[in-house]
């Protein structure tokens, strides 16, 4: 019948399934590109798992950056409710990232060493998305961007995050706008330098914590940040223990000290006064 639209759906067990689509599931997700991105450099079985876990982690980090960027814009606009939703989502993403190490830990030292040479000098240390997340959280280190100097576009992205306020810097500016007396050196400074804890900032947080009903949104935001850092450090710890389990204390492929380097990172604090204030309450 000319001009009539043919119904290509089929009723299966009571469900009307449409087999002809303008955009299919695979097209929408660009699965052809994603599923063809696993290029093995050896003939060893476990290399596939190694690649997929790290690729999936980078996708989760991309989402973390997306949420973090939006949350920081919300902070500038004093929209704490929306910022909290985004930060809570990042904390759940961290759970997924932590779980990925459990999968990787099923690989034995022998499995890894069978294809390790194929990695060359590539290393997770070179992950620019990881570095952007760290910088956004406040772990600023100018020297770290040099790992990306041979890639101008990536270098510019990482440098931009380095030179702008972290989520904690923006939080302190919010506290100041709310009337808390904070030192000028904590509110306007060289954002590329690591934040230094200050007793006046701890005093401000103590007031928030001791008057939770009056400052409920600030109190809730502070706890969201603590949860975020806690889960980030859990991710780091799981990473360190997985590396130790697989390669012991061998040096990393990118030239770092491997486990010894990862252990040092566990001592870093992103939001120092939110931890020290607990002792003084």
Residue 179: which residues within 8 A CB-CB, separation 6 or more? none
Is 239 assigned a ligand-binding role in the annotation? yes
In angstroms, the Cα distances linking 75 to 33, 72, 84, 103 are 36, 5, 9, 36
Q: Sign of the C-alpha dihedral, residues 96, 169, 179, 80?
A: negative
180 labelled ligand-binding: no
Q: Is 232 annotated as a binding residue?
A: no
Look-up of token digits 């040099």: 146
Q: Is 89 within any annotated ligand binding site?
A: no
Instruction: Give the number of other CB atoms < 10 A from CB of residue 119.
Output: 16
> Is 50 a known ligand-binding residue?
yes
Residue 120 region, left (φ>0) first, then alpha (ψ -120 to 50), else beta? left
> Is 51 annotated as ligand-binding?
yes
246 annotated binding-site participant: no
Secondary structure (3-state) at 12? strand
For residue 265, give every residue at least 6 positions away whose Cβ sits within 8 Å of its Cβ, in sequence order, or none.
236, 240
Q: How far apart are CA 50 and CA 100, in angstroms?
A: 10
Binding-site sequence positions for substrate: 50-54, 112, 116, 253
Binding-site sequence positions for heme: 239
Binding-site sequence positions: 50-54, 112, 116, 239, 253
């Amino acid at each position: 019948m000319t001009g009539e639209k043919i119904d290509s759906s089929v009723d299966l067990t009571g469900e009307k399934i449409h087999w002809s689509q303008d955009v299919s599931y695979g097209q929408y997700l660009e699965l052809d590109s994603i599923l063809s991105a696993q290029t093995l450099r050896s003939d060893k079985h476990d290399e596939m798992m190694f690649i997929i876990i790290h690729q999936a982690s980078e996708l989760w980090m991309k989402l973390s950056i997306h949420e973090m960027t939006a949350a920081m814009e919300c902070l500038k606009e004093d929209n704490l409710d929306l910022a909290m939703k985004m930060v809570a989502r990042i904390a759940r993403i961290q759970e997924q990232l932590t779980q990925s190490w459990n999968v990787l830990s099923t690989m034995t030292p022998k499995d890894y060493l069978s294809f390790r040479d194929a990695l060359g000098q590539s290393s997770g240390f070179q992950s620019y998305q990881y570095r952007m997340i760290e910088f956004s959280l406040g772990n600023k280190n100018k020297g770290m961007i040099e790992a990306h100097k041979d890639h101008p576009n990536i270098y510019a992205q990482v440098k931009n995050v380095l030179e702008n306020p972290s989520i904690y810097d923006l939080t302190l500016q919010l506290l100041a706008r709310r009337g808390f007396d904070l030192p000028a050196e904590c509110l306007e400074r060289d954002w590329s330098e690591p934040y230094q804890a200050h007793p006046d900032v701890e005093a401000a947080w103590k007031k928030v914590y001791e008057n939770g009903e009056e400052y409920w949104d600030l109190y809730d935001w502070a706890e969201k940040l603590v949860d975020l850092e806690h889960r980030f450090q859990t991710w780091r710890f799981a990473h360190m223990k997985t590396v130790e389990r697989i390669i012991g204390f061998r040096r990393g492929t990118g030239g770092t000290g491997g486990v010894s380097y990862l252990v040092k990172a566990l001592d870093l604090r992103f939001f120092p006064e939110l931890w020290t204030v607990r002792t003084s309450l």
